[in-house]
Amino acid sequence: MKRMRLTTHRQVLKTFLKEPGFRQGYEEELEKLRIVDAIINLRQRQGMTQKTLARRLKVSQPFIAKLEKAETHNFTLDTLIKVVTALNGELVIHIKPRKARMAIGHG
């Protein structure tokens, strides 16, 4: 009986990341998730609920939920500034050149 060789998700991802179109979309989504993660962490450190944040921003709680799931495409700089300000946070944007290759599984 022939042994079956299993493929890990990292191996599959590594293959897909060789395709420029996939890589660009992947990196864009990863950046969005990093921003969302920072917003969620700041909100939770403030002891604030999604509902309270929504009231401060004069939006619905489901909008905040979508934002925190990165399901909304209304993720403009203005929205980001308003959210961070409502959380008593400071928005710092650091722009730098990308590294030649993105490390998988680190970040």
| pLDDT number for residue 107 | 45
Q: Specify whether domain 18-86 bears CATH 1.10.260.
A: yes
Q: Helix 61-68 crosses helix 20-45 at what angle (to 10 degrees)?
A: 130
- What confidence tier does 74 reach under pLDDT thresholds 50, 70, 90? low
Q: Return d(Cα 76, Cα 29) in angstroms, integer.
A: 14
What is the average per-residue pLDDT within 61-85? 87
Domain boundaries, the chain: 18-86
Largest separation between any pair of C-alpha atoms in the chain: 64
